[in-house]
Amino acid sequence: MTRKKSSQDLSVEEIELRSWKAKLVGAWIFTIPIAVFMFSERIFGFALMPVEWMIPSLLVLGFPVVFVFGWSTIRTGFRGLFSLYFNMDSLIALGTVIAYLTGFFSYFNFVADYSGVASMIMAIFITGKFIETKARGKASQEIKKLIQLGAKKARILKNGKEVEIDSSEIKVGDVMVVRPGEKIPTDGVVIKGESAVDESMISGESLPIEKSKGSSVIGATINQDGVLYVKALKIGKDTFLSHIIELVEEAQGTKVPIQKLADKITSVFVPVILSLAVLSFANWWLITGELSRALGVGISVLVIACPCSLGLAVPISLMVGSGIGAKNGILIRKGEAIQTMKQAKIIVFDKTGTITKGKPEVTDIYSKDKNNRLLEISASVERFSEHPVARAIVEKAGLKKYKRVSGFKVIRGKGVQGFIGKNRILIGSRKLFYENEISLDGFEEKISNFESHGKTTMIVSKNKKILGIIAVADAIKPDSPEAIRMLNKSGFRIIMLTGDNERTAKAIARLVGIEEVLADVLPEDKSNKIEELQKEGFVVFVGDGINDAPALKQSNVGIAMGTGTDIAIEAGDIVIVKGSLVGVVQAINLSKATFSKIKQNLFWAFAYNIVAIPIAIAGLLHPIIAEIAMALSSITVVTNANLLRRKKI
């Protein structure tokens, strides 16, 4: 489905480019002789034909240039004039048609002949459009590549036999056979086989990821060395790749605040220029009394003004920037984030799943009595909880049979409670035990010791007696310290936010190099903390998109961390697909680079129009030079945006 759409999209652009190319060739075939005739006297010192043949031949040769090859421009231009939905073509259409008509009027001797000029303006305009279209295609190349990324064919098992089908025909539940070197056709789960999979095209992660039975795989990633049997779980618009494409495409329609002025000007640009052209024409005619001179000035004003450079400056930079981002697993969802990022002073990181892997493991079990079945009791109670720490305990215990538990209850932010027989079991943090007035005597030292090593400590009690403690650690992601070091160097104030207790949190913070820690923050308070910090400056919040959605929304720029197989679509202004902190550094660098490109482009577009239009009004520019300048100005903006690609992020 996705693929079909993409090939159509591509061909539309290809058709557009080809049509401009055909027009370009056609227009110049007639325009070159026109130019030779017009300038022969000046260049060769003699006229190539008798004067009385000159104007008729210019009119004959010019007709196809203006009215055949330029027809689409003339048509939309005049339609715009009559419907009052003015566009760029309205200016060119009016300029060329008036210039062409002077050829006829010159027979009545009240005006000089500009008909040759009409053809030249149209030919240059078409050339400019061709170059611009080509460069625009280049600007969207990363996004186009993303759209074409999907596998075309798939092999599925049908009654025990392998059958090749189109990827679009895969149904959820089909088992796909993926050989080494092949693309995995769609999202699914490995049911047989082992292999490494290259996911760089989706996540920007350069190292292949090991996959075995039970691993999730993403469509369009490439299987490296073993045969994988994958059960399809998501198809069509629901796949990871489709979501990424959708995010990137939707971002293109969002606005960067700085473009407001440019947009406002663009929307009134053409009518303003039309009035200016009429005024300059009238003024020159009144003052000099020379109709020809006045017409020349009027035409110059019409064709020199360039709304395209203004209107394109921001969207094309945004497109190149978000394309580069997508290639590196950084999805910019809102154009605004690019501008806001520049003002950011404070970066707040959530701990679990952002700085750390988010997969805690049991590291120590401490109990004074060897036979009290600490782990068995804990796992039996904790298996009713969804909390990652609970899962770590259940996994560690690996029980086949659990004890019967009744009255299970989550005590939010503190722990859990359940009954085994008549015995009340509590598992949780210190707070839980203070509140229940259960003494931690004899365990305090051990608890502090675990905590200062960055381990989360779960205390387990039966009725009023402590059974023991289970320490759980969530390893930091390998590139977290490197990323924090880079951000520290860039002068950001960095804060770690967590629900963990202060000692554990500080130990983790030390490991990655963060000095400021906000510990013991309940999940629902995270966004309040962000709000408080915002009094001191713009805040970037980095967290997972599922639990931290309110904090992501509250912050000035919310960066959502993906897990590599899932992305939270709704939260975050920027999404880091692979969820690495280095991705955050890249996202900040990319935003800054893109924003400075936007500013450059806007500057040139404004400067061009502010300088060029008055010069044309002053009558200092020949219409042909004016048209060349116009074409160059929009080409410059588009080319400059493409230069963003050279920036290392």
- Tokens for 363? 């590291």
- Rule CB under 8 A: say whether 88 interacts with other proteins: yes
| Chain-centroid distance, C-alpha 150 | 19
Closest approach of other proteins to the CB of residue 270, in Å: 6
Binding mask 587-606 for other proteins (x = CB under 8 A): --------------------
Q: Which is nearer to other proteins, 8 or 206 (CB)?
A: 8
Q: Which of 166, 225, 238, 249 binds other proteins (CB under 8 A)?
A: 249
Rounded Cα distance between 284 and 488, Å, is 62
Nearest to other proteins of 147, 471 (CB atom): 147
Among all chains, which residue has been given the structure tokens 């999404």?
575
Residue 371, burial from CB neighbour count under 10 angstroms (0-12, 13-18, 19+): exposed
Contact by Cβ (8 Å): 392, 361: yes
DSSP strands (E only) in 463-533: 465-473, 493-497, 516-518
Scanning 94-102, 278-286, 310-318, 324-332 for contacts with other proteins by CB under 8 A, the matching segment is 310-318
- Residue 554 Cβ, how far from other proteins at the closest point, in Å? 23
| Minimal distance, residue 235 CB to other proteins, in Å | 17
In the complex with other proteins, the residue whose CB is nearer, 10 or 191, is 10
Q: Is 319 in the site for other proteins (CB under 8 A)?
A: yes
Q: What would the two tokens of residue 17 be?
A: 């480019």
Amino acid residing at 262? A
**CA 296/CA 337 separation, integer angstroms:** 46
List 302, 308, 560, 576, residue binding other proteins (CB under 8 A)? 308
> Taking a C-beta distance cutoff of 8 angstroms, is the pair 352, 388 a contact?
yes
Which two tokens mark 477?
Answer: 């992601």
**Site pattern 11..40 for other proteins (x: CB under 8 A):** -x---x------------------------
639 binds other proteins (CB under 8 A): no
Residue whose C-alpha is closest to residue 361's, from 394, 313, 384, 402: 394
Full strand arrangement of the beta sheet holding 161-166 = 161-166, 153-158, 175-178, 228-232, 188-192, 216-217
Provide Rg for the chain, Cα atoms. 34
Q: Which of 595, 516, 524 is nearest to 554 (CA)?
A: 524
Close Cβ partners of 362 (under 8 Å, ≥ 6 residues apart)? 392, 393, 395, 396, 470, 471, 472
Interaction pattern, residues 130-169, with other proteins; x per rule: CB under 8 A: ------x--xx-----------------------------
Catalytic residue among 187, 350, 474, 548: 350
> Of the listed pieces 78-86, 206-214, 383-391, 621-629, which binds other proteins according to CB under 8 A?
78-86
List CB contacts of 258: < 8 A, sequence separation 6 or more.
314, 339, 595, 598, 599, 602
Among 148, 168, 216, 252, binds other proteins (CB under 8 A): 252
Piece of the chain touching other proteins by CB under 8 A; list 174-182, 244-252, 345-353, 365-373: 244-252
Place of tokens 């229940």: 436
Q: How far apart are CA 168 and CA 232, in angstroms?
A: 12
Minimum separation from the CB atom of position 648 to other proteins (A): 24
Dihedral sign for Cα 417, 421, 424, 425, please.
Answer: negative
Q: Which residue in 76, 436, 501, 639 binds other proteins (CB under 8 A)?
A: 76
Nearer to other proteins, 10 or 233 (CB): 10
Residue 333 has, within 13 A of its CA and on its CB side, a CA count of 21
Q: Which of 39, 85, 110, 603 binds other proteins (CB under 8 A)?
A: 85
Among 59, 146, 312, 426, binds other proteins (CB under 8 A): 312
What whole-number distance in Å separates Cα of residue 641 and Cα of residue 385?
Answer: 51
With binding defined as CB under 8 A, does residue 69 bind other proteins? no
For 271, half-sphere exposure in the C-beta direction (CA atoms, 13 angstrom radius) is 10
Q: Which position among 311, 329, 353, 428 is part of the footprint of other proteins (CB under 8 A)?
A: 311
Task: Find the shortest distance in angstroms from Cβ 499 to other proteins.
Answer: 35
Which of 95, 296, 315, 543 is in the footprint of other proteins by CB under 8 A?
315
Distance (Å, whole) CA 400 – CA 398 = 7
350 tagged catalytic? yes
The contact pattern for other proteins, residues 257-296, with x = CB under 8 A and - = no contact, is ------x--xx-xx--------------------------
Size of the site for other proteins (CB under 8 A): 36
Considering only residues 58, 123, 129, 234, which one is a binding residue for other proteins as defined by CB under 8 A?
Answer: 129
Interface residue list for other proteins (CB under 8 A): 5, 12, 16, 76, 79-80, 83, 85-89, 129, 136, 139-140, 249-250, 252-255, 263, 266-267, 269-270, 307-308, 310-312, 315-316, 318-319
Q: List residues with catalytic annotation.
A: 350
